[in-house]
Structure 1
């Protein structure tokens, strides 16, 4: 066991006026299975690249291990998979590689195939196996689940659970719970480490947020009471002071010494109340700095004229005359939230493309309701050049509503002026999410909408879909999301 020590780390991009990290210090053990979480754009991938020495920074990063970054950059994907593994680490015993592949439910025969011929899930598993072969390496695993189906995520999480130590960036709650024992979170104002998995971290965060909200409310009430008391005492003091110059009563002069003493006493009490008030204000200002307000999102589903929107009977899809989906039967009615699940390559995205009217060869019967209006979130995150204003105009959506939704999903105002090509993958996906939420339609078709999306935003989206349930069909590999949202499941 060794340690990775971060001392007074500060970093910012030349194009940004704000620091990504500012005077950050913490220490982690290399045997920790560390889940790394935080809002999109807060610097998770940047931090991993700082560990790799890819950027200049101020401060100190000290470690007795070498870092390896996943996903590994592939220069020639057409080469044999075995050759690629040899390039990553040439000195491995073959039986060790075979053992790693077996743990990942992969047949060693794929080593003799071109790497480009493997599915994206198989590529992910092969690279993880190769990187874990290297001795004295600490893996920095950046969002490995984006190309894994439900079964692949289960297998890889079980694989990582048996490994000694790594940093894992992932937004899949079930995946994190299965394989991490510590959580490193980038908050709004600091970075913190907790022992446990994602669920225990979330529970602790909710408790801390609730405590701070309650404390904030209590201090606010006390401050209001102290202000009132201080003002009342000051008024009394001023009134007593004026009575020093008052008229005689029964021929007696006012006891100015006694009155002055009483006035000074009241003024002293007033000052004491003001100090207590200021102390409470200072305590209040320290609260709720790290609370990520999950502002409620809204969706504007449109009711269709009939109960049934879509029906399919004996539907089969083909790719180059090769069947990719056979004899499928289903109906989509108002209010259905249907999850399409199945292994990679089973035809999930192709089915969505067919419903969108894209050219997909099929046989059987497919009936879509007349004048059915659809909103689509694509699986990829390619965006045009330009800023958010250009995008909203091109898409014909309300710019103000569009930006309001993005603000609620964690965008800061500085991001609004940047070119879309500079966005992180998670931010690009949020652009498509916000566009879809701006559209008032009968049916929402979302293809892996949560890829790259941070866990806090996932919770917001879940809450939205449960509070204002639209009719939708979605492809997703986040087990928690499917369990919470789907009313029906089509398994391919």
Structure 2
């Protein structure tokens, strides 16, 4: 059991949270929830040992292994996939190296009676006890097995890590965690930038093979499928629910209703007491009663009602101008990069008003197809054309990171706004939760979610009839994703959507194009039907034997 005792964090005199205590049991699967800025990531980093608390402590049994997957990957670019994954055993290699070095010192030293010599002997004994207690493992074979289980091919093992996309780097980190067999896995937004099949595999691993898990995520389906406990960070304290996320929402609503009732009753009592004091102050016969009630008010613990994040994204796409019958047509399209074939002889026709989803593993060609449709890359063969009067709005996977960090929020929108809409910039920004002094903030200081919202503002500045969105929900919180989903459902144009978020995808598309093994396969079914049909097959294909 890992114990978190009286944890507190202060930044520049302000308290992020204080006196936080809870225990993590060996089989707990915990969702760490709370609005942005509540301190979730900070708390996770403290438990991981990456940051230190202002007060309090984290204690765990000796030799407890805690594995931490940060929101932003720290994978280095100076080694191969195999070498990076083998770092999971670095502590064992370091132990062996230190033991060999100390034994060499003992062979050459002659100060047998000195305290330094005795310290070396004690250290060698301690290391030897730990090292030789480890079961004999073929480390190379274990690394290879983990990587293959996560979808890497034999030829990938010795490629440099910088040749892989963010999703594949995530798998390298997951392989390292798997090989460590940790007592606790800490995951901060693990589903950003990985494909649906990887998310399904990760769910299966966390539920069936992992010990304790704590996760921060805005992926509703993911956290609901894996957790059995929810810890909410709010107003500098925590609430601990022995319930998965969806049940926690119901319990939190009940708790707040009870708080409101108790708060209102207390406020009524305070008002009546103050009225009594005011009425009888100076009345000799009531002196003792007045004093008693004054002391009662002084000692009263004021009930606090949990804060509710009332900021809400207001999103509505402008009416779509009428396009031709087929905004997108692809015929016998092929694309390769050197010897690597992305897809070949791909065909698709997307009708006006249709909402389609592109699905498939990272690296199978989804984003490449989008770039081909937009004319951003040259293809090797075939045809790819936009239809008559197709007006495209495109949200790239890295759209938020493309914003100029030196511009303010207002300047970012002002530089692309034209005509009468320029007079409405402040109102538009207000609908996207940027108001007051916020609009003068530099883009460089914004969070991932804020940058994503700002990139969405730019997308809405002129009417379009073909929306192409590549992973638009990365960094958006659950409420913002719901608002975006509702806006896309109401959008009367054509939609092409790439997303790994199953909860977000459900109900949004009536046709699926699957990118797999250099092919583009058309499925005349909803994304819900497609995912259900492929779920069991995907888990079996990705499972580690």
Aligned positions of 1:214-253 closer than 5 A = 215=261
Contact kept, 8 Å, 1:37 with 1:454, in 2: the verdict is no
Residue 7 of structure 1: aligned partner: 6
Give the conservation status (yes or no) of the 8 Å contact 2:5–2:57.
yes
Range with bigger deviation, 469-478 or 431-440: 431-440
Other-structure match for 2:77: 76
Within 5 Å, which residues of 2 pair with 1:34-433?
Answer: 34-55=30-51, 57-64=53-60, 65=64, 67-71=66-70, 73-77=74-78, 79-90=79-90, 91=92, 93-94=138-139, 95-98=141-144, 100-101=146-147, 103-107=149-153, 110-134=156-180, 138-161=184-207, 162-187=209-234, 190-208=237-255, 215=261, 286-287=304-305, 289-293=306-310, 295=312, 297-306=314-323, 308=325, 310-320=327-337, 322-334=341-353, 336-361=354-379, 363-370=382-389, 372-380=390-398, 381-382=400-401, 383-384=403-404, 385-396=406-417, 398-407=424-433, 415-433=438-456
Residue 27 (structure 1) aligned to one of 22, 25, 50: 22
Deviation at 1:306, TM superposition (A): 4.2
SS of 2:18's equivalent in the other structure is strand
CA distance in 2 between counterparts of 1:326 and 1:38 reads: 47
Cα–Cα, structure 1 residues 431 and 219, in superposed 2: closer, same or farther, change >3 Å? farther
Question: Aligned partners of 1:138 and 1:389: how far apart in 2?
Answer: 43
Aligned to 1:474, the other structure's residue is in SS state: strand
**8 A contact 2:38–2:236 mirrored in 1:** no
Contact 1:139 1:166 in 2 (8 A): yes
- Structure 1 runs not aligned, ≥5 long: 235-263, 265-270
Q: What RMSD over aligned residues (CA atoms) do the two structures have, in Å? A: 3.9
State the TM-score, normalizing by the size of structure 2. 0.68
Shift of 1:27: 1.1
Question: 2:10–2:17: 8 Å Cα contact kept in structure 1?
Answer: yes
Matches of 1:413 and 1:45, distance apart in 2:
27
Name the CA distance, whole Å, in 1 between partners of 2:14 and 2:388: 50
Q: How many residues align?
A: 435
Pair 1:448-2:480 in alignment: no
Distance 1:166 1:174 in 2: 16
Change (3 A) 1:8 1:141: closer
8 Å Cα contact 1:10/1:22 also seen in 2: yes
Q: What is the rounded CA distance, in whole Å, between the counterparts of 1:212 and 1:402 in structure 2?
A: 35
The answer as to whether partners of 1:104 and 1:159 remain within 8 angstroms in 2 is no
Paired with 2:183 and 2:364, the residues of 1 have a C-alpha distance of: 36
Pairwise CA distance, 1:294: 6.4
Q: Please say if residues 166 and 193 of structure 2, whose CA atoms lie closer than 8 Å, have aligned partners that are also in contact.
A: yes
**TM-score of the aligned structures, taking structure 1 as reference length:** 0.75
1:300, 1:438 within 8 Å by CA — same for their partners in 2?
no
Q: 1:146 to 1:184 in 2, by over 3 A?
A: same
Give me the whole-angstrom Cα distance separating, in 1, the residues matched to 2:263 and 2:491. 30
Structure 2 CA distance for aligned equivalents of residues 369 and 40 of structure 1: 43
> How far apart are residue 153 of structure 1 and its match?
0.9
